[in-house]
């Protein structure tokens, strides 16, 4: 399975959550959206173990199974479609999560997130 990670999925993995660890270990490829990196680094900057957490994340990013996903022009089309879809349904989600979902859809990835609001996007493949 090719797996895109939400911030809370990475945090659960780092805390040793059994289900998260199992998914991470069995995935063929792991993808971290640039937005997730930003959210993680913001948390590191506000926390007391920033250097330790950054070092752990760097080791994770250095794995050959891990890639960073960046937005491009195609991503913006997915974003616009999802924004309109969710607005019409009356189920908007946070902006950063729209970017994460857009990248997962664009690259045909399963999204691993603990946030239930992603279930409002039926075309999004989910991992659990």
Whole-prediction pTM:
0.95
Dist CA 80 CA 72 (whole Å): 13
Is 68 buried (19+), middle (13-18) or exposed (0-12) by CB count in 10 A?
exposed
Does any domain span residue 124? Answer: no
What number of other Cβ atoms are within 10 A of residue 6's Cβ? 24
Q: What is the CATH number of the domain that holds 95?
A: 3.40.50.1010
Q: How much of the chain exceeds pLDDT 70, in percent?
A: 100
Average pLDDT over the chain, rounded to an integer = 97
The predicted structure's pLDDT at residue 37: 98
Does any domain span residue 29? Answer: yes
Contact 6, 113 (CB under 8 A): yes
- Domains in the chain: how many in total? 1
- Domain with 75 in it: 2-116
Does any domain span residue 70? Answer: yes
Does any domain span residue 126? Answer: no
pLDDT tens digits along 48-84:
999 999 999 999 999 999 999 999 999 999 999 999 9
Does any domain span residue 123? Answer: no
pLDDT band at 107 (very low <50, low <70, confident <90, very high): very high
pLDDT tens digits along 2-54:
999 999 999 999 999 999 999 999 999 999 999 999 999 999 999 999 999 99
Does any domain span residue 21? Answer: yes
Does any domain span residue 122? Answer: no
pLDDT for residue 85 is more than 80: yes
pLDDT band at 128 (very low <50, low <70, confident <90, very high): confident
Does any domain span residue 121? Answer: no
Instruction: Identify the bridge partners of residue 5 per DSSP, sorted by sequence position.
Output: 112
């Amino acid at each position: 399975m090719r797996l895109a990670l939400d911030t809370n999925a990475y945090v659960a993995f780092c805390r040793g959550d059994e289900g998260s660890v199992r998914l991470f270990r069995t995935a063929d490829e792991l993808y971290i959206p640039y937005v997730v990196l930003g959210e993680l680094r913001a948390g590191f900057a506000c926390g007391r173990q920033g250097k330790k957490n950054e070092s752990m994340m760097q080791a994770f990013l250095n794995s050959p199974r891990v890639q960073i996903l960046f937005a491009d022009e195609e991503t913006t089309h997915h974003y616009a479609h999802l924004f309109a879809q969710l607005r019409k349904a009356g189920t908007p989600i946070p902006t950063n999560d729209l970017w994460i979902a857009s990248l997962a859809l664009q690259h045909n990835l399963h999204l691993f997130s603990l946030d239930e609001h992603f279930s409002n996007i039926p075309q999004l493949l989910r991992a659990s």
